A and B are shown apart, each in its own frame.
Chain A
Amino acid sequence: MNMQEVIEQRLTETLDPVFVEVVDETHMHNVPSNAQSHFKLTVVSPEFEGKTLLQQHRLVNEVLATEIPKIHALAIHTYTPDEWFERAGQAPASPQCMGGSKPSS
């Protein structure tokens, strides 16, 4: 399994998501295109209801505690099913990389 599939599986197993999408955005950055270093995830789960954004992201960080140290950057977009419906199913775009060398989010 590649990293994109691993992340997707971890989220699916733990958060009972209504929607989950993991995009390998490595090609947007100054590293070999097969480096599997930059990802963006969107996850919509009832688990996020009643939680602050910080708590929602902490939950994702915990679920991916093994994977995050292995990658350079991870954009995280979390929504409750209601919020996702209001957004009509659109997560924001990720930024271009500028070099640095520690995971970013």
Chain B
Amino acid sequence: MDVLERIKDQVESNPVIIYMKGTPQMPMCGFSSRAAEALKSAGVEFAYVNVLMDQEVFENLPRFANWPTFPQIYINGELVGGCDITLELAERGELQKMMQEAAASKAEG
């Protein structure tokens, strides 16, 4: 499968997914760490891809949604943004709601 199709499949099959450096348990970047913590705090399950372990995704993700940096957070197949946006949404109390709604609509199928 072409890498862009693989990414498309990942963001569409997971209600919430973060592309990050490292893992939520062992982040390798302060920005990835903070974004993953914000997702964890929401108490909704999410998927992750460690871009440091997948060279193809690392090189091609920036052109998938025309976003130049990591981490990248997708909810319902749509790019939400990077660390700063995710934290801002968490601060406004919107992140948890977005994640809960995405998880619920996925469960309904």
Contacts and interface: CB of A to CB of B under 8 A. Distances in A.
Nearest to A95: B30
Contact of A105 (B69, B79, B80): B69
Contacts of A92: 84, 87
Given A68-B69, A94-B30, A100 B52 contact: yes
Interface string B31-60: 111100000000000000001100000100
A105 B58 CA distance: 15
B32 A57 contact: no
A36 to B, nearest CB: 17
Contact of A98 (B30, B58, B66): B30
Interface residues of A, number: 25
**Interface bin, chain B:** 20 to 34
Contacts of B27: 98
B15 interface: no
Contact of B30 (A53, A65, A96): A96
Interface in A17-67: 53-54, 57-58, 61, 65
A76 interface: yes
A73 interface: yes
B3 interface: no
Contacts of A54: 79-81, 85
Nearest to B80: A54
A75 interface: yes
Contacts of A74: 69
In order of increasing CB-CB distance, the 10 nearest A-B pairs are A95-B30, A105-B69, A104-B31, A100-B29, A100-B21, A105-B82, A53-B85, A103-B69, A100-B28, A96-B30
Nearest to B69: A105
